[in-house]
Chain A
């Protein structure tokens, strides 16, 4: 099993892959669909909003906006199914670590983090590859997505729904769909902007979703448990280093680039688990 993909940047920093090209494609697919779904969906919910009327005009009228909304919804739904099938296949082949699946440790991490914020602990809890905040957002997307998919399908096929379920499931689905949309939009606006931009740890912006990689030094600082998992013996100096066992290198370190600044010993919290 490949443990990680590494490469060096021009400054000689060792980088570790955080999002594979497939994951980045998924992210931008979801991001694009999400934005367009918001822009075509909210004018229907907030039908008194004049800006919404402009948006609908821009999309070529209500019927067109609905068509776009439905196509994107179906694309997102298919993606959701493929994504979850990816879990199943990945876990069965033992090729995937469920690094985004919350567990009991995340609850403890959140509790420790709260204590740290309030000044009862000196240091943050060491975090895994994706910390509890990131897992929260991901799971919100998955669970919220499922609510949107199923309620959306009911609204897209009301007659079919009424063949198997009582008719009131249709207004219930509508209530779920519009309410969950508000929740999803607010959580995303607040939490994603915080997590990827305004969080002091990443400010002004976490670029890993563009580049796919993050600095190993950042990993050591903010995802200490993942650092310890990947580099229990320290960072490899090059591909021939025995510490590079299970690593794939996207490039070779240029001989004239400086040594990476600091090793694991420079980070007091690194490797503490």
Chain B
């Protein structure tokens, strides 16, 4: 029964004088039950009739935990579902009174048991969720695996557009260490300052189809996550960040490799350096303008040694940085490139001219019958 039907039915009931008016009220007041026989029998026979009473009624679960049955009218009114759903749309087994008893032993178990309530309407997100590592955790019967309401709220479920700014706090409920790391990062500081473009957790990880990050395939493609913003010239210009970072990465051996792993669709045998390996992931730092070239080189060499064990500091010179090859930045590379840029077409042209002249001469001799080559 959807909300509109409920309202229509309720209106009919009201006209018949059996029930309170509901059209301007919350749907939770619309459902009538058989007149309760308990001490609240004088209350209206709706969900709100009992559940908005803040009188300390609780129910007790098998594990002994006690849970108030009170539902705050204002919280419900603030939620995105306020005008749309009635209680029993989600609490499907509470349609009738007296309510069926709760079989779940713990509050957590109850929440997990109820977690498929949302997919009646939001099936596409549920479908995405099934691809996520959170769902894998749920399949492992991990009680901490998040359900919809863990992130979105239950009675207070918010518009997901508002959620973006508070979503980090939702993630932090479980991923506390990472949340702290993030707060120290250039992105985290930006969020605190109110910059609208900085990525929150879900901008990089996705919201529903959150993939496992320890996966080689994810690592190989992780540069694409950074590229969504750092490959966006307009967005980068706003913050005076070099727009070349993606291109220069993709010109480098590591970038080419990851680009191909992603496009060919195979899993790398060994991890290949990607943005986060040098810049950090959750603790991503701003490029330190203060550090001198020697210091920067030293730091790059340390990054190299994370994978290339025991290489000399000079090894860092192999990385040309995120600036385009130029006479100033990498003179020898620039020179070799230009030698070939000039030599290749000249060579091809020379060979084609030679071949062309040969055919021309052969053609003339063929016409004149003087054949210098053949009898």
Find chain B residues with CB under 8 A from A186 CB.
344, 347-348
Q: Encode A155-198 as 1/0 by CB contact (under 8 A) with B.
A: 00011001101111011101110011011001100110010001
> Which residue of chain B has its CB nearest to the CB of A191?
B351
Cβ-defined contact, A117 with B360, below 8 A: yes
Known interface pairs A62-B261, A171-B333, A176-B336. Does A117 touch B318 (Cβ–Cβ under 8 Å)? no
9 shortest interchain CB distances as A-B pairs: A167-B317, A179-B340, A61-B266, A170-B318, A162-B315, A117-B357, A167-B318, A175-B336, A63-B269
Cβ-defined contact, B337 with A179, below 8 A: yes
Cβ-defined contact, B333 with A62, below 8 A: no
Find chain A residues with CB under 8 A from B259 CB.
47
A53 located at the interface, meaning its Cβ lies under 8 Å from any Cβ of chain B in the complex: yes
Cβ-defined contact, B266 with A62, below 8 A: yes
Cβ-defined contact, A201 with B330, below 8 A: no
Known interface pairs A117-B361, A167-B315, A183-B343. Does A175 touch B333 (Cβ–Cβ under 8 Å)? yes
Known interface pairs A47-B260, A62-B261. Does A162 touch B314 (Cβ–Cβ under 8 Å)? yes
Cβ-defined contact, B347 with A221, below 8 A: no
Interface centre among A167, A198, A200 (most CB of B within 10 A): A167
B372 located at the interface, meaning its Cβ lies under 8 Å from any Cβ of chain A in the complex: yes
Cβ-defined contact, A175 with B372, below 8 A: no
A198 to chain B, nearest CB (A): 8
Chain A to chain B contacts (Cβ below 8 Å), 6 pairs: A61-B264, A119-B361, A183-B343, A183-B344, A187-B351, A200-B373
Given contacts A47-B250, A53-B264, 20 further A-B contacts (CB under 8 A): A56-B260, A57-B266, A62-B266, A63-B266, A63-B269, A116-B361, A117-B361, A158-B315, A159-B308, A162-B311, A162-B312, A166-B317, A167-B314, A167-B316, A175-B336, A179-B344, A182-B340, A191-B351, A194-B351, A194-B355
A24 located at the interface, meaning its Cβ lies under 8 Å from any Cβ of chain B in the complex: no
Cβ-defined contact, A171 with B318, below 8 A: yes
> Which residue of chain B has its CB nearest to the CB of A168?
B317
A145 located at the interface, meaning its Cβ lies under 8 Å from any Cβ of chain B in the complex: no
Find chain B residues with CB under 8 A from A165 CB.
314
B237 located at the interface, meaning its Cβ lies under 8 Å from any Cβ of chain A in the complex: no
A166 to B312, CA, bound (A): 10
B159 to chain A, nearest CB (A): 40
B33 located at the interface, meaning its Cβ lies under 8 Å from any Cβ of chain A in the complex: no
The secondary structure that dominates the B interface is: helix
Find chain B residues with CB under 8 A from A43 CB.
260
Find chain B residues with CB under 8 A from A176 CB.
336
A165 to B317, CA, bound (A): 10
Q: Encode B326-367 as 1/0 by CB contact (under 8 A) with A.
A: 000010110011011001100110011011011111101000
B320 located at the interface, meaning its Cβ lies under 8 Å from any Cβ of chain A in the complex: yes
> Which residue of chain A has its CB nearest to the CB of B316?
A167
A62 to B266, CA, bound (A): 7
Cβ-defined contact, A172 with B340, below 8 A: no
Find chain A residues with CB under 8 A from B79 CB.
none
Known interface pairs A159-B311, A167-B315. Does A180 touch B358 (Cβ–Cβ under 8 Å)? no
Choose among B315, B317, B372 the residue that contacts A123 (Cβ–Cβ < 8 A): B372
> Which residue of chain B has its CB nearest to the CB of A136?
B351
Cβ-defined contact, A62 with B316, below 8 A: no
> Which residue of chain A has its CB nearest to the CB of B355?
A194
